[in-house]
Chains A and B, each alone.
Chain A
């Protein structure tokens, strides 16, 4: 428990000092979202239909900028070696790193997407559906991204993207559907996303531990 607290504060401190990791996805998201009305159409009806998908695609791509390198720095500078030497729980390491990354990269994007709904004429009555699906979906994507990052340690980021994108497709489909359908149908999609998150947390965390270990064999 002491390690968990100290490791959490360490990660929060590192992210709070490494502002480029937080700002880059936000800027990427803002640029993408603001270009869509210019490039596709400025018709409110058309934009409001496309808005959930556009927000989801932008969040997925912006999130990819940071999540894939989640273990890279610790691997490169030798911090992961120390975790093994001290016998720290790698499950705790993986979970804390994913959660802190989500707080600093996905959470600002979720908050930002609330303000972007006006730009894309997104129906306000479905705003809570969008936020709910984004909360669950971005968490799942963070786990998939962490696995891609763990598998591609020491290799180029194209491999990580190639692993992450196909894994994220079901989340993208479920998430944008949850934000599109009426309030009565949202429960179905939210339940599916919750189930996916429920299974992803233990399975992907263990897969991440195994993938990191592979680089020490």
Chain B
């Protein structure tokens, strides 16, 4: 699905990672590891097209360049939610929930325990609850590639289990996931430690 060859990214006169190569196949879960500042978030941003000035090649197999932006689900470190809008308004205008029925998003909010917060302003929610809003889009989405930056951050143990099982469901249905986390994930089929690629 995704082939990365000789990928390097420089920041402030040093390479965050250099000559990184790997393949992401269907049904695979890759965990990006590394100390703080090792470039995990940067690599996710490079892969989903936010950062462009990298060296090396990123090729998407099975779909052309014009399609790739519709084939990726990106969950960033920041939630991209508007504090002064309600949960429902945020979901309505969130571009990660494009094409997903609102009823399905509401169901997923209920799974994560946010069914009573639909009309609550995002500014009144905790960081964990904000993360759950975006994760409800992740659970409802149906994409071949998922790039998740710290998906479990700020979540309670129960929610972590729900999200982990949803990640497993995605993999079982043939999707591919790359995610960053400091926690060991037993489902990961491959680990990439970015400390090994730093210069």
List residues of chain A with CB under 8 Å of any chain B CB: 6, 9-10, 13-14, 17-18, 73, 76-79, 81-88, 216-217
Contact = CB atoms under 8 A, between A and B. Distances in A.
Given A13-B93, A84-B49, A85-B50, A78 B80 contact: yes
Given A85-B49, A87-B49, A77 B93 contact: no
A50 B93 CA distance: 46
A10 B93 contact: yes
A81 B74 contact: yes
A84 B82 contact: no
Given A13-B85, A14-B84, A217-B53, A81 B69 contact: no
A76 B76 CA distance: 12
B49 A17 contact: no
Contact of B78 (A9, A81, A217): A81
B165 interface: no
Contacts of B168: none
Interface of B: 45, 48-53, 69-70, 72, 74, 76-85, 89, 93, 95-96, 98
**Chain A binding site: helix, strand, loop or mixed by DSSP?**
helix
11 contacts: A10-B93, A13-B89, A17-B85, A78-B79, A81-B76, A81-B78, A82-B74, A82-B95, A84-B50, A86-B98, A217-B51
Contacts of A76: 78
Contacts of B76: 78, 81-82
Contacts of A13: 85, 89, 93
B48 A85 contact: yes
Contacts of A82: 74, 76, 80, 95-96
Contact of B50 (A10, A88, A216): A216
A134 B76 CA distance: 41
Given A81-B76, A84-B49, 20 more contacts: A13-B89, A13-B93, A14-B82, A14-B84, A14-B85, A17-B84, A18-B84, A77-B80, A77-B81, A77-B82, A78-B77, A78-B78, A79-B80, A81-B80, A82-B76, A82-B80, A85-B49, A85-B72, A86-B95, A86-B98
Contacts of B82: 14, 73, 77, 79
A18 B95 CA distance: 21
Contacts of B70: 86
B74 A216 contact: no
Nearest to A87: B69
A70 B48 CA distance: 25
Contacts of B95: 82-83, 86, 88
A204 to B, nearest CB: 23
A9 B89 CA distance: 11
A10 B80 CA distance: 13
Contacts of A17: 84-85
Nearest to A17: B84
A204 B85 CA distance: 30
Nearest to B11: A217
Nearest to A14: B82
A85 B93 contact: no
A78 B83 CA distance: 13
B79 A77 contact: yes
A81 B69 CA distance: 12
B51 A216 contact: yes
A136 B85 CA distance: 32
